[in-house]
């Protein structure tokens, strides 16, 4: 065991909890522990008072329905300064779907607008049909393909932000731009739900490495893991939808 440790905070797991997004936290934790690095996971729910990010390394925000996003937005806005300070200081944030939208300026629904944290200079508008299905991206961050599943009514416009990847199959941020997600400092925001990190171990390691470097300095190297099964699962999806 090294003396390194990473603390992961799951934000509002009581509301933002679609499609087992929390499995991504298990993946982050496991890939640290397999390398002898300690990992602690804490949750901050709607019932918790106090909010302290001072020793947190990775924040995770999952997806949620419009209804849940409306409830959670006021809670998030109470901590706007801390969360944006954390992001600006190189803190790692992983945000999925509804969580991704809430990092932006707003999410406009037919009858109301949900205010976001404004950490990303992006906005989301509800479209006429939901964008649902398998999705494959090309991403330099993952050194190849990122595979996943998307299900969103919102269309996110990312302006001059850098996307997580280029859509090679599926819909992505807004159906038309061919971009998916956003990468900003150590923030990775994406529409890809469910087992994003188990299916894309290189992306998981990218996030872990950033968090370790922020905490322990530039010399940190991640020991290789046996990702044969993970890579096969990733390749299977790429072959099914892209290299037919
Ligand atoms: N409610 C948002 C939308 O439909 C996010 C959904 C989600 O997290 N899957 O766009």
Give the global pTM: 0.97
Cβ atoms of residues 92 and 41 within 8 Å: no
3 state SS of 237: helix
Average pLDDT of the segment spanning 158-180: 98
Whether the per-residue pLDDT at 148 is higher than 90: the answer is yes
Which two three-digit tokens encode residue 111? 């009858």
Confidence of residue 1 (pLDDT cuts 50, 70, 90): low
Determine which residue's CA is closest to atom 5 belonging to ligand 1. 98
Hey, which residues are catalytic here? 97, 193
Element spanning 135, H or E: strand 123-139
Please identify, by atom number, the ligand 1 atom nearest to the C-alpha of residue 68.
Answer: 1
CA distance 153 to 137: 19
Average pLDDT, the chain: 96
Considering the chain, what percentage of its residues have pLDDT values greater than 70?
99
Residue whose pair of structure tokens reads 């409306």 in the numeric block: 70
Whether the per-residue pLDDT at 225 is higher than 70: the answer is yes
CA distance 36 to 28: 13
Cite the DSSP H helix spans in 42-172.
66-78, 80-88, 98-102
């Amino acid at each position: 065991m090294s003396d390194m440790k990473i603390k992961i905070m799951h934000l509002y797991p009581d509301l933002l909890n679609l499609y087992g997004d929390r499995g991504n936290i298990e993946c982050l934790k496991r890939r640290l522990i397999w390398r002898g690095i300690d990992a602690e996971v804490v949750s901050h729910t709607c019932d918790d008072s106090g909010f302290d990010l001072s020793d947190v390394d990775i924040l995770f925000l999952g997806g949620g329905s419009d209804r849940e996003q409306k409830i959670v937005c006021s809670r998030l806005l109470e901590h706007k300064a801390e969360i944006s300070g954390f992001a600006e200081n190189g803190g790692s944030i992983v945000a999925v779907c509804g969580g991704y939208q809430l990092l932006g300026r707003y999410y406009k629904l037919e009858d109301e607008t949900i205010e976001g944290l404004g950490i990303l200079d992006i906005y989301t508008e509800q479209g006429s049909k939901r964008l649902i299905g398998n999705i494959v991206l090309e991403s330099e961050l993952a050194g190849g393909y990122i595979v996943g599943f998307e299900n969103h009514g919102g269309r996110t416009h990312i302006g001059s932000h850098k996307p997580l990847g280029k859509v090679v199959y599926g819909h992505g941020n807004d159906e038309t731009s061919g971009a998916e997600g956003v990468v900003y400092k150590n923030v990775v925001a994406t529409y890809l739900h469910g087992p994003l990190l188990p299916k894309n171990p290189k992306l998981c390691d990218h996030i872990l490495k950033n968090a370790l470097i922020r905490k322990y300095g530039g010399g940190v190297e991640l020991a290789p893991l046996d990702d044969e099964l993970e890579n096969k699962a990733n390749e299977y999806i790429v072959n099914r939808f892209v290299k037919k």
